[in-house]
A and B are shown apart, each in its own frame.
Chain A
Amino acid sequence: MKFLCVPCDSPMKLQTVSPDDRGSLSVVYSCPECGYEMAMLTNAFETQMVQSLGVRIGPQSTEGAGSATDASGGRCPFSAMLPGKDGAREDSTQAKVSDAVEPKAVRWTAAAEARLENVPAFVRPMARAGIEQFARDNGSLEVDEKILDAARTFFGM
């Protein structure tokens, strides 16, 4: 979708995108010639349709999508993919692990956390749970890069 300032016959530029408010986004455009501003207010269907493409909505550089915020406020478009109703899959996964065997808490070093960020958001909860169990099985209550490398070797990756 594009917007044209009719008096100036000039394409308007996207300025800001507000966080999702009950399924609606407020997307502000302005005319670079006269400075006139307007806001596009999306309904929930429009918001969801664009979100479903897995793209991010917001002012971007030409370097790609990584610098932009997405329509739901800056999270990965798939971060909320989860089984069952709304809520955090990560939390529910951890809760189940906890209920089942009451495992000891496992710390993650900053470097290991950084590597976890390389895992797609929808895989991350299971990756975290699996690695923590691998660490416990190997007598460690801390996940560092050595543990991650050992896990990759152990699981034949």
Chain B
Amino acid sequence: MKSYHDIAGDGGSRILEQVAEQRARIADGLAGVRHLVAVGSGKGGVGKSTLTVHLAGALLARGLRVAILDADFNGPSQARMAGVQRAVFVPPASSNGSGAASGTAKMALPRTANGIGVFSMGSLIPESEALDFESAAHGESHTWRATKEFALLGEILRSFEWGTLDVLMFDLPPGAERTVQYADFLGARTSFVLVTIPSEVSRGVVARSVAALAKGSHRVLGYVENMSGYYCHDCHAVKPLFVSSAPAALDIPCLGTVPFDPELARSCDLGIPFTSERETLVGQALDQIAEQLLNRLDSTSEHPR
């Protein structure tokens, strides 16, 4: 009697082939992107999204072509931070009647005031509403939801025009296990930057993400310590924000530190660029991190960690 592997195909639906075709269309769509950089942490509330949008601004200021994909579908914040909450999605010009997901007609990305392409579910769903999916398995979303979200990520990657980019940044959701899931989905081309804050709790959680990523062949560029002190606009000094006696003990390079600046938080709430102010302390910190990031991208491209 024949075994599973003796039989070619699945009798008609071509499920595995469809999944492979999806992945191939994603690869085609990202062919013009030089670097894929995922910003994660494992820990929530450390400023991944803030760092992503402002680091993108710092890279843009260095003359790079940058876009952001907000992969936190359940808690999207890039739409607000990047000022594309009211983005208008205009149908592409060409049409063969088979839809954007077929790979022939791609959607243009909404753009920030300074020209960064941004996709965020926050442009599609008001903040007062939650992302939900129709389901045959009512009330049992824990059994399928993650699969659906990654299929949605694939749909977004296939449907939008990423074009020629130097860096496509992914703003990841929190969770060490989620970081690894995204690493597996995005593949070996993707490099990771992890974000922590100067607290032992945060460092501990981020260390778990480092350990989890180290089990695979995932390339980790380093980490950024966010909220590394508080920048006082009155005395122009950085004061401690967390009582922390030990330095960050993560077994990956430190790309830089960013002090907490109320002006940066304000710019996020208002969706206005911040890093054009390179003369500010935070602007300089972000610029230095951008430089470190690019150096690491170039130096590790042939030798993933």
Contacts and interface: CB of A to CB of B under 8 A. Distances in A.
B32 interface: no
Interface stretch (B3-11, B173-181, B244-252): B3-11
A48 B144 CA distance: 7
A4 interface: yes
Contacts, number: 199
Given A11-B7, A55-B19, A119 B89 contact: yes
B272 interface: no
Contacts of A139: none
B42 to A, nearest CB: 24
Contacts of B123: 126
A50 interface: yes
A39 interface: no
Interface string A62-89: 1011101000100011101111111000
A120 B153 CA distance: 12
Contacts of A148: 90-91, 93
Given A9-B2, A81-B131, A127-B91, A29 B147 contact: no
A112 B90 CA distance: 11
Given A58-B13, A117-B97, A6 B1 contact: yes
Contacts of B154: 54
A54 B100 contact: no
Interface string B69-107: 000000000000000000111111111011111100101
Interface of B: 1-2, 4, 7-15, 18-19, 21-22, 87-95, 97-102, 105, 107-108, 110-111, 123-126, 129-138, 140, 143-145, 147-148, 151-152, 154-156, 159
Given A11-B8, A80-B134, A118-B91, 18 more contacts: A1-B10, A11-B7, A14-B12, A23-B138, A53-B151, A56-B13, A64-B21, A64-B102, A65-B14, A66-B102, A77-B151, A78-B155, A83-B125, A119-B91, A120-B101, A131-B88, A152-B108, A157-B108
Interface pairs A-B: 9 shortest CB-CB: A14-B12, A80-B134, A83-B129, A54-B151, A130-B88, A157-B108, A23-B136, A48-B137, A52-B147
